[in-house]
Chains A and B, each alone.
Chain A
Amino acid sequence: MKLFFSLIFLCQVANSLEPVRIQLWHQMIYEHRSVLAQSLREFEKENPDIVIQETYRETEELRSSFQAAAIGGSGPELVYGPSDQIGPFATMGIIQPIDDLLGQDFIKPFDPLATPEFLNKRYIVGASVGNHLMLLYNKKLVPRAPKTTDELIEMGKKFAATGKGNYGLVFNYTEPFFFAPFISAFSDKADNKEFSLELDVAALTKTFEFILELRDKHKIIPKECDYETANALFKQDKAAFLINGDWSWGDYKKAGVDFGIAPIPLISKTGKWPSPLVGTAGYSVNAKMKSERHKQATIRLLKYLLSERAQLFFTNKVGVLPSLISLRESDVVKSNPLLQVSTEIMKLGTPMPVIPEIRAVWDSLRVQYQKVLAGSSTAAQGAEDAKKLAESQIRDMNEVLQPDASALFIKILTLLGFLFLLWKTYPAFLSFLRGFQGSHKFVYYMILPAFIGIFTIIIYPFFFNIVISFSNFSLKTFQNFSIVGFQNYKMVLMDPQFYSLFLKTVVWTLVNVVFHVSIGLFLAVIINQVMPMKSFWRTLFIIPWAVPQYITALTWRGMFNQEYGPINIFLQNFLHLSPVQWLSQPMTAFFACVVTNVWLGFPFMMIVALGGLQSIPKSLYEAAYLDRANAWQRFRHITLPLLAPVMIPAALLGSIWTFNNLNVVWLVSNGGEPGDQTHILVSYVYKAAFNLYRYGYAASVSVLIFLVLVIWSLSSLRKQFKKEQKA
């Protein structure tokens, strides 16, 4: 017995000697990652009892993965990201206040910008400060930066005139973050150093008009310009000025661009400086710690990462502005001219808001602004709508539905439904169980493993979603949601947007499936009847099916790019047409999605059709030939009716897949751009759940999608069954 206990004791000692594994999720850009890795390896060398595992996640993905991990009760000890992610995380209760963990004294030496307050607590400590926008100018093309916007326009026009495809100014102007600096400069109100949730309609209208003027009247910015395009144009000496953030410097240095930085020019009309948002990127601590040892190790790591040493290392390598005030006087900072100018620019800035509601403001700005740019709304109307949309989205986000009478009703209904189901399926279930002993037990054992897998992995999530769809699961009730009744469904069904999206999804599905089937059938018939080297053509046309979907989608997005996409280059060089702004107009963007999806889907139908064609007896065609039926008649009366039983199930499956195809729409249109006008139902669900935290609402839309598809497939299968019976 004694031996046993001492064994246990020994095991525990051995256990505690094993190094603690601390996880860190970050979203650092490519160049910063290796610096972080070096810094962490250094720490591990000095602290052999701690092992750190750093994982890169793209910003949005880090957010949704961390949320999922937190619900599952795990997740990384430390999260590194921009300050605006702490609002939602803290509201959900999945990160903990750092001032409680480390004390007020720890926080004092940091720049206040690096330790923003949220609900009177500090949930993040920044490792660097900045992330703000500025004007970059290419010294090879222009001698200096303009002071005012009039000067900018004049200099820009001059440069644009030097050659075709040259632009005065480029920036990712469709993103609200990139035009936000201008809003305050157009505001009549006195400078207040706070970004307000309430949008200033007058200022916003003027900002929209200003950007439109730059684009249409002065023509110094490209008609369509995303981040990548702006980047490339600037690097290729095709743009004199660029608005971008401090994170981008490294990239341009590496590309050998000789550039200078300056504040975004003073707005000539109002005489005010645009005010970029200044934020921080830093570390937050998971609210749940696996053990006391993990907690202590996390604290040690956090202190190290924020220490003078680690910060200096980063500043040295990648030139970020340290968050410790004491370091601002260090040689590394003083001798870096970019950092000196950048610090001056920062003084014009507004602190980046951290409250979760800001997400709704950004989103509604993006949506309405892109509509204005696409010409589907005027500046004034867009500004007005953006304000309204922001208000309603904030309301939706913060709304905590209260249980009503129907909640109880649902609970009772569920119970009754369950009992009813049990009663109904009990005999079938019993006979199924009995089957295991009967003469056909072999059959039952063959079915069992697959169905156990399917049922646990798919049925549980399915019921989970049904439960959620009746609940108030959202940002504020992240850890303690409750069943509230039919309210989500009522909201969905009362919303006219749901019906228009539904209609659009139906059109999307119909157009896609019609093209899939007709192209597939067409190619199959031609390959089967006319072409030599059948297997070569067959293999060639399989290619689109073989390329992974996410790669396809991003590739097509690249091909539709206004500036660099081969499609526009082809239109210009060979057909002498003017370039089309595929991705910034709602109709053409939707068209781009359809083309991509048609490309993806026709090979499947072609293969199915080829298989069907092979099994049609040749004698039928020969007989038809003797009867002098022409090609069309042969197709119409032999091929089509005999292929139908093969094609209909394939088309049905295809329509279900297309109806629910999130990848293509989301990736090609970059999440519904322009202005949420390219959504289909699934992408709308995705947005509601992961961007606006309305899980309950999203789940109820999902359940409705499911019901629609069940009805649709039941009705089409029934037709099929009837036909089979007649035959």
Chain B
Amino acid sequence: MIKKTFAWISILLFAIFAVYPLLYIISVSLRGDDAFQSQSLEIFSNTSTFKNYSELFFKTNFLLWLRNSLVIATMTTIISVALASTSAYALSRHMFKGRNLMLFSLLGTQMFPPTMLILPFYIILSRLQLIDHFLGLFIIYSSTALPFCIWQMKAYYDTIPKELEEAAILDGCSAWETFYKIILPISSPALAITALFSFMSSWSEYVVAAVILQDPLLYTLPLGLRSFQASLATQWGLYAAGALIVSIPVLILFMSVARFLVSGLTLGSVKG
């Protein structure tokens, strides 16, 4: 009994810790112009208004940014899932010279301070004439998301017994058919996570987009949100409202794949 009470208390405390910042964003987004810095702890008060939301949707290019972000995040997700699922499979199933080096260099890509990569990114893309093109962002986003995706897909494939493929080959499947018809379907939890991860990283990425997209009509949500944040005059209400709406699709996505998350996120496997 004591144990249960302790568990409940601690989990409720952590729940407050986890949820409160989101509630705080909600409360700021509902405050009117003059009261967004206020000394009350109430989330909703009688001055709450949806003014910021209506302004966001009707007076700014918010819907355009939303569309751009959706296009970019979706394309990045498709590319990353396609490339990560195939190359990770090869890395998991086939031993060849330099495989470990390849695996380690994947991890290595996460080690260089990312801020210093922006300038060279810009140089590459401007040589390729891809500044102000979504294609440039697809390339950068999917290749920066790939290392983690490949690592985690490979770890998942490692847990699938090899006997499955051997049986499939005996039944007359080609290597591609085995992968496509047998392995991919049972890897759906890991695929869901790869998709989620690449969607999320491109959905909320800001720094690279800021350098590559110069045309306001191509702005993504994070860029749009930042424009409410002038050096000395931030539109906090609009910013909070926008921030909340940006978080919602990711939250929904997370909830819909939550059941896969637990079984799919394998970075190493338990030997049971």
Residues of A that sit less than 8 Å from B by CB: 23, 25, 27-31, 53-61, 65, 68-69, 71-74, 76, 165, 227-229, 232, 235-236, 245, 247-248, 251, 254-256, 425, 427-429, 431-432, 435, 440, 442-444, 446-451, 453-454, 456-458, 460-462, 464-465, 519, 522-523, 526-527, 530-531, 535, 537-552, 555-556, 558-559, 561, 563-564, 566, 569-570, 573, 599, 603, 607-608, 610-612, 614-617, 631, 642-643, 645-646, 648-650, 653, 656-657, 660, 662, 681-682, 685-686, 689-690, 695, 698-699, 702, 705-706, 709-710, 713-714, 717, 720, 727
Query: With an 8 A cutoff between CB atoms, is B51 at the interface?
Result: no
Q: Can you name the residue of chain B whose Cβ is closest to the Cβ of A648?
A: B268
Closest A-B pairs by Cβ, 7 of them: A548-B204, A461-B120, A72-B126, A232-B37, A450-B87, A709-B111, A457-B143
Q: Distance (Å) between the CB of A681 and the closest chain B CB?
A: 8
- 14 new A-B contacts at CB < 8 Å, known A443-B93, A547-B21, A682-B115: A55-B216, A58-B231, A61-B226, A457-B140, A458-B147, A465-B117, A543-B18, A543-B19, A548-B246, A599-B18, A611-B264, A685-B115, A686-B115, A705-B111
14 contacts between A and B (CB under 8 A): A55-B214, A69-B211, A71-B123, A228-B37, A245-B232, A450-B83, A462-B109, A538-B258, A545-B254, A556-B21, A608-B267, A649-B155, A653-B267, A656-B111
Residues of B that sit less than 8 Å from A by CB: 3-4, 7, 10-11, 14-15, 17-22, 24-25, 28, 33-41, 83-84, 86-87, 89-91, 93-94, 96-98, 102, 104, 106-127, 131, 139-140, 142-144, 146-148, 150-151, 155, 175-176, 179, 200, 203-204, 206, 210-211, 214-216, 222, 225-236, 243, 246-247, 250-251, 253-255, 258-259, 261-272
- How far, in whole Å, are A58 and B233 apart by their CA atoms in the complex? 11
- How far, in whole Å, are A235 and B37 apart by their CA atoms in the complex? 10
- How far, in whole Å, are A112 and B145 apart by their CA atoms in the complex? 52
Contact status B146-A450, CB under 8 Å:
yes
A contact residues around B41 at 8 Å (CB)? 566, 569-570, 573
B contact residues around A564 at 8 Å (CB)? 37-39
Contact status A611-B232, CB under 8 Å:
no
Contact status A643-B270, CB under 8 Å:
yes
Most A C-beta atoms less than 10 A away, residue of B119, B122, B247: B119
Q: Distance (Å) between the CB of B32 and the closest chain A CB?
A: 11
B contact residues around A538 at 8 Å (CB)? 258, 261-262
Contact status A689-B7, CB under 8 Å:
no
Q: Can you name the residue of chain B whose Cβ is closest to the Cβ of A82?
A: B231
A-B contact number at CB 8 A? 349
Q: Can you name the residue of chain B whose Cβ is closest to the Cβ of A65?
A: B211
CB-contact partner of A546 in B124, B222, B254, under 8 A: B254
B contact residues around A53 at 8 Å (CB)? 214-216
Most B C-beta atoms less than 10 A away, residue of A448, A607, A717: A607
Contact A542 B140, CB 8 Å, known A72-B126, A523-B11, A530-B7 = no
Determine chain B's interface SS by DSSP, over half rule.
Answer: helix
Q: Can you name the residue of chain B whose Cβ is closest to the Cβ of A690?
A: B115
Contact status B98-A72, CB under 8 Å:
no
A contact residues around B11 at 8 Å (CB)? 523, 526-527, 531, 537
- How far, in whole Å, are A681 and B116 apart by their CA atoms in the complex? 13
